[in-house]
Amino acid sequence: METQTGNKPHEEEGKRQRVQANMVNVYIMGKRHVVPEHATIMRAIEYAGHQIIRGAGCREGFCGACGTIYRLPGDYKLHTGLACTTLVKEGMSLTQIPSVPMEKRVYDLEKLRPNVAAIQQVYPVTFRCVACGTCSKTCPQKLPVMDYIQAAMRGDIATVADIAFDCVACGLCALRCPAEIIQHEVGILAKRLTGRYLRKESKELDDRIVEVRSRKFDAEYAELMVMEGAALSKLYYARDMEP
């Protein structure tokens, strides 16, 4: 996540608010700020006068764009979390991770198969795993990352895809990995292979794809594109929904 320093009015407002109760001291990228105790890290950063210009993403814990590392007073551990869902604590010292340096491999799924050879070819560094569990401890989603890396080493692509399903690709596991594996990219490869080769066949999906390609719904799309917002909202909430 990338920020820039805010304007003077924000800073003055912050000074006035510091006398209020229910505030905590936090150190944002080395500088002390006093922020509301129930704020998320992202809200605390904004309260301190920083403008988030990149990396805020969904703000709901889904996109993984706001990876954060922090330490707490009297605790030697380096903690990790997402800035949009992790609450500040007294004395927290934090910094943002704007991106995770890595090589994102380019591959052709049609030339791969859902087996261990695909992992060996695309991400051979996977086999350096020493099963230390650091990646699992780091994951803000609480996923057993080490388990899916071990499954990848066995060529069990379906298990990798299943365990990694809720991964938000924040990259914090890769930052902490002593073997320098890019775990989340291994998970993405497995999910793509599963979708291409291992997914269950769906006749309904295949039929709908044929309908879309035959332009059956073009007239409805055109009608929706010119609708006013209120009409679209009414249509959306009046739609048939599964129980």
The domain that contains 66 carries what CATH number? 3.10.20.30
| Domain with 222 in it | 203-237
| Residues 81 and 121 placed together within one structural domain of the fold | no
Overall number of domains in the chain: 3
The H or E element that residue 123 is part of is none
Interatomic CA distance for residues 240 and 91, integer angstroms: 50
The average pLDDT across 47-74 equals 90
Which of the two residues, 59 and 133, has the higher pLDDT score?
133
The average pLDDT across 46-73 equals 90
Domain boundary among the residues 70, 96, 122 is at 96
Closest by CA to 167, choosing from 147, 151, 152, 145, is 145
Structural domain includes residue 13: yes
| Residues 24 and 70 placed together within one structural domain of the fold | yes
Instruction: Give CA torsion, residues 147, 148, 152, 155, to 10 deg.
Output: 90
Of all residues in the chain, what percent carry a pLDDT higher than 70? 91
Residue 20 confidence (pLDDT) above 90 = no
The string of DSSP codes covering 37-74 is TT-BHHHHHHHTTEEEEES-TTSSSSS---EEEEE-TT
Residue 19 confidence (pLDDT) above 60 = no
| Residues 92 and 157 placed together within one structural domain of the fold | no
- Pairing, β 67-71 against β 92-96: antiparallel
Contact predicate 150/164, CB 8 Å: no
pLDDT given for residue 74 in this prediction: 95
The 10s digit of each residue's pLDDT in 172-219 is 999 999 999 999 999 999 999 999 999 888 899 899 999 999 999 999
| Residues 190 and 208 placed together within one structural domain of the fold | no
| Residues 82 and 49 placed together within one structural domain of the fold | yes
Neighbours of 191 (CB within 10 A): 17
Structural domain includes residue 225: yes
| Residues 164 and 229 placed together within one structural domain of the fold | no
Structural domain includes residue 102: no
Which of the two residues, 101 and 185, has the higher pLDDT score?
185
pLDDT given for residue 1 in this prediction: 63
| Residues 174 and 117 placed together within one structural domain of the fold | yes
Residue 89 confidence (pLDDT) above 90 = yes
Structural domain includes residue 103: no
CA atoms within 13 A on the CB side of 18: 13
